[in-house]
Structure 1
Amino acid sequence: MIAPVQLVDLIIEARWVVPVDPAGVVLENHAVLVNDGRITALLPQEAAAARFSARSYKRLDQHVLIPGLVNLHTHAAMSLLRGLADDLPLMAWLQQHIWPAEAQHVSEQFVHDGTLLACAEMLRAGITCFNDMYFFPGAAAEAARASGIRAAIGLIAVDFPSSYATDADDYLAKGIAVRDRLLDEPLLSFCLAPHAPYTVSDRSLGKVLTLAEQVELPIHVHLHETVQEIDDSLKRFGMRPIERFRRLGLLSPALIAVHAVHLDACEIELLARHGCSVAHCPSSNLKLASGIAPIAELFGKGINIGLGTDGAASNNRLDLLQEMRLTALLAKEKSGRADAINAHQVLYMATLGGARALGLEANIGSISVGKAADLCAISVNDVALAPCYDPVSHLTYAVGREHVSEVWVAGRIRVENGQLVENNETGLIKLALLWQNKIRP
C-alpha cells in the first residue's frame, strides 16, 4: 500500500544543508520541509519528493542552506549614526560625540526609524534574529515587528537621565511595561540590559538581578571591553568588574558578557564555572582599538560564545558573515594556533551559540525538526567562490553578505533573490537622508 502524499507549506531543496546540530554535518541534496512556520522534516530530496507535496517550492541548486544568523549584540537604532565620528578611542568617541548626539536627537521616532534601517540591513545579510540594547525599546520592538525579523529587545538601564527615562528605576519600570505589553508577540523576546559597569550602580544592578530572576530574562551587559573600564573599576570599587559582578550574584547562565576582551585566567574560569555566555564583537573591538578577545581560550573552557556586530556607529556594518571571518582569523593569531577555531565552530557561534545565550535554543539556531523555520540561503555560484570544496569553509572564509540570496523568518520569506520582499529600500534610504540632515554637525 502506497502512503498518501502529505501536503506542506514549503519545500526548500538545496545543494548543501548545514543543520549546525549535529555538529560538523553537511548534507548534500537534501530538502527542508516547512509547515505553519516550523521545520517538519529534513531528508534527501528523493524521499521528500516521494512523500510530500508543497504549496510552494524553492530549488537552490548552487546554494548552502543554514540556520538564520543570530546577531547577539547590537544597538540597532545607531544605524542613523553610522560614520558620524570615526577613528577615535572608545571613551572619546562616546563622551565627546555619540552621547552628545544622542542627547540632542534620540527620540521614539529616531529609534523606530533607525531600527527599521538596521532590520533591512540585517535581513539582507542573513540575520534573522538580533539582540538589541538601546533607548525606547518599545519603538525598536515595533520596528522589528514591522520588518518581520526576530528580536530580543533589551530593556536598557543606566543611572543617568535621558529623553527616555530619568533614572535606573524609571528605565526598568518602562522596560518591563514594554515587555508585558508585547509578551505575546511570537517574534519578540526580551533581555534586561544594564549598559555597563561604569554606568550602572550596585543598587541598580541588584534590582536588575531581582527582576531577571522574577521574570526569567537574560542579562545583556558590556563587560571588560577596555583597559580603562577595568582601571576605573579598580579605582572606584577596589576590584575588577567581573569580581564586582560575582559579589553581586550576577554571574550565571543568564549573563551575556558583551566584548569580554580583557580577561585573566581566573576570570575565564569564573565565566566558565557560572555558565555565562560571551557576545564576541571583533570588528567593533578592532575599530575602537579595544583589543582582541581570547576566544580560543574561552572556547576551550566550554564557554558559550555568540557573535555580535555591535552598532553601526562603531563597526560600521551589520554583517555577521564578516564577524565570522574575523572571529576565526583573530582566534588563530591571538592563540598562535591555526587550528584554534575551525569553520564549523564559528558557524555554531553565529547561530546556535547566539540562540543559546538568549535562551532561544529550543526554537532557533539550527535546522532541526520542530524549530522555527529561520533560514538563510547563500549562493556560491560566483566566479570569486569557485571552486567550492567545503561549503562551511566558504561560509567562514570566502562568502560575503552580497551572496545571501534568500532569507526566511518563521517560514515566511523576507529576502528573495537578494532583495527585501516587503520593505521599501528606496523609502528607507530617503528616511536615513532626512535624519542625516538633522544630525549633520
Structure 2
Amino acid sequence: MNLIIHNVTVFTNDDQNTVLENQAVAVKGARIEAVGTPAALKKKYKGFRQFDGEGRLLMPGLINAHMHFYGTFARGLSLPKPPRNFHEILRFLWWRLDTSLDLDAVYYSALVPAIGAVKHGVTAVIDHHASPNAVDGSLDRIEEALAQVGLRAVLCYEVSDRNGEEVRFRGLAENDRYIRKCQAAKEQNPDHLFDGMIGLHASFTLDEETLDEAAALSRSLDRGCHIHLLEDMVDARLTEQKYGADVVERLLQYGILGPQSIAAHGIHLDQVQMDALAYSDTMIVHNPQSNMNNAVGRADIFGLLKRGLPVGLGTDGMSPDVRPDLRTGYLLHKLALRNPNLGWEEFQKILLKNNPLIYRRVTGQPVGRIEPGYLADLILVDYFPPTPLTGENFWGHFLFGIVDAPVDTTIINGEIVMEHGQLPQVDEAAVAAEARKVAAKVWERFYA
C-alpha cells in the first residue's frame, strides 16, 4: 500500500526522541519512504492514498518480546487444587493445558490474542509455544492465525524432555522445519512477517543430548534459542540435582546462550551469572506481571542493564498488550527497593529502544523507528496532549497518558490492519464464539 499519513504529531523514536508537530509520513509498500511536511509529501507522492490522522499521535508500533499465545485457554480455568509454588503451577496448570491442545486449539489460542495485540498497538510479538500432543505443524497454525490479522511475529516450539523422547524429537524437527520455511520466504521477501527461533523450556527439563541437538541446530541454521532462565529457584535446584551443574554455566557450555538467543525472566541470577551473561551478550526479557502473579521474585534489571545486557519487556502470556507490563514493572521496582527515583530511564530504554533492538537482532528487520527505510509498523494513538509534548518529556507523556490511550489505527508492513478501531478482515464475535467451542474441548481434556 502507498500511503501518506498527515495531520499527525510524529514520535520518531530516534536517539533524540524527536517529536515532530503537524508532519506527515509517506509509506511505500512495506517501508517508510519519507517524513516531512504535508504539503511537500502530497506534492511529491501524488498517487498515494491520503490518511488524515486528525491530530493524533503517530509512533512506531510496540513489540512484545516474550509471549505465550497458548495461554489464552487458561482464562476462566479453575485448577483441581491450589498450587503451593511455581513448580506446582507448571504441573497443575501449564503442563496440563499444553498437553490438552490440538491444532484447532493452537489456532484459536493464537488468533484471539493476535486481535488483542493489534487493538492495543502491538505490531510484533516473539512467541514461545508448546502443544506436546500437536507438535507437527503447530507453528504453521499460529502463523495462519497471525496472518489473518496481519501481525508480525517470531515463533518457536518449546522443546523439553518432560514428555518423552518422541515429543522432544518432534519439537526439534518443528523448529528446524519452520525456521527453514521462514528463511526461504525471507529470501524472496526480506519484509516477510514471520521468522523462527529454537524454543527450549528450561535447563531443569532439558537433558544433555537435547541441549547438544538444540545447539547443533542453532549453529546449522544460524538462529538463536529462546529459553526460560531461572524464573524460579526450582530451575537451579533441579539442574544441580539432575545434572550437577550451574544453570548459566551449563547453558553457556552447550552454546544455548549468546547474542542471538533470548533468555526470559532471569529472576534468580547472582552477580557471577550476570557477569557471564554480559560476556555472552545474551538478550534478557523481563516479565513483571507474570513474575508477580507467580510470586517468583523480581529480576535485577538494573544490574543487567549496568552490565550492558539488552533487557527487553514481555508479558509471558498475561496479555498481548505490553503497556500494562511497562507500568507494572516501573512501579514494582520502585516499591520493592523503596526508591522513588528508580526506573525512569531504564524502562524507557527497555520498551522503546531495547525491544526493537531485540527484534532487529533476531530477524534483521528494521523496526521501531519512523524514518526512511524502516518497516512501516505504525500506530495512531488517540492521545491529544494536555501539556506541551517534546522529545525531552515524551516518556512522561507515555508513562502517564499514552499508556492508557486507545489505539485508533494500526499499520503493519505498510498495510492498515486496523482502521478507526475496526479490523475489517476479522469478525471478532465469530472468532470468540468458535474459540469458546474449541476451549470447551480443551477443558474437557484438561480435567480428564
1:83–1:290 distance in 2 versus 1, CA, 3 Å? farther
| Alpha-carbon distance in structure 2 between the residues aligned to 1:328 and 1:53 | 45
* Cα RMSD, aligned residues only: 2.4
Question: What is the percent sequence identity of the aligned residues?
Answer: 25
1:170–1:25 distance in 2 versus 1, CA, 3 Å? same
| Match in the other structure for 1:107 | 102
| Alpha-carbon distance in structure 2 between the residues aligned to 1:412 and 1:294 | 39
1:119 partnered with 2:114: yes
Following superposition of structure 1 onto structure 2, how do residues 32-431 of structure 1 map, counting pairs within 5 Å?
A: 32-85=25-78, 88=83, 89-103=85-99, 105-134=100-129, 135=131, 136-161=138-163, 166-182=166-182, 183-184=184-185, 186-311=192-317, 315=318, 317-334=319-336, 336=339, 338-342=341-345, 344-349=348-353, 351-360=355-364, 362-381=365-384, 386-387=386-387, 389=389, 390-400=393-403, 403-431=406-434
| Alpha-carbon distance in structure 2 between the residues aligned to 1:410 and 1:116 | 18
Contact 2:119 2:421 in 1 (8 A): yes
1:27 partnered with 2:29: no
| Match in the other structure for 2:189 | none
Matched residue type, 1:269: D
Bigger strand fraction: 1
Q: Secondary structure at the match of 2:376?
A: coil
Matched residue type, 2:10: V
Q: Which runs of 5+ in 2 are unaligned?
A: 132-137, 187-191
| Alpha-carbon distance in structure 2 between the residues aligned to 1:428 and 1:131 | 22
The normalised TM-score by structure 2 is 0.87
Q: Secondary structure at the match of 2:276?
A: helix
Q: Secondary structure at the match of 1:251?
A: coil
Query: Residues 413-441 of structure 1, C-alpha deviation per residue, up to 9 Å, x if partnerless?
Result: 11111222311111111022213433165
Contact 2:383 2:405 in 1 (8 A): no
Give the C-alpha shift of residue 238 in structure 1.
Answer: 3.0
Matched residue type, 1:96: F
Q: Secondary structure at the match of 2:95?
A: helix
Give the C-alpha shift of residue 380 in structure 1.
Answer: 1.3
1:97–1:310 distance in 2 versus 1, CA, 3 Å? same
Give the C-alpha shift of residue 349 in structure 1.
Answer: 4.6
Q: Secondary structure at the match of 1:358?
A: helix
Contact 1:77 1:140 in 2 (8 A): no
Question: Which stretch of the first structure deviates more once superposed, 335-344 or 16-25?
Answer: 335-344
Give the C-alpha shift of residue 192 in structure 1.
Answer: 0.5
| Alpha-carbon distance in structure 1 between the residues aligned to 2:380 and 2:249 | 42
Matched residue type, 2:62: L
| Alpha-carbon distance in structure 2 between the residues aligned to 1:57 and 1:203 | 57
Matched residue type, 1:358: V
Q: Which runs of 5+ in 1 are unaligned?
A: 1-7
Matched residue type, 1:175: N
Question: Which stretch of the first structure deviates more once superposed, 260-269 or 328-337?
Answer: 328-337
Give the C-alpha shift of residue 41 in structure 1.
Answer: 1.0
Contact 2:179 2:196 in 1 (8 A): yes
1:435 partnered with 2:430: no
Count of matched residue positions in the alignment of Structure 1 and Structure 2 = 423
Query: Residues 120-160 of structure 1, C-alpha deviation per residue, up to 9 Å, x if partnerless?
Result: 11111111111111132221122122221111111331113
Contact 2:9 2:21 in 1 (8 A): yes
Matched residue type, 1:171: G
Question: Which stretch of the first structure deviates more once superposed, 179-188 or 271-280?
Answer: 179-188
Q: Secondary structure at the match of 2:125?
A: strand
Matched residue type, 2:375: A
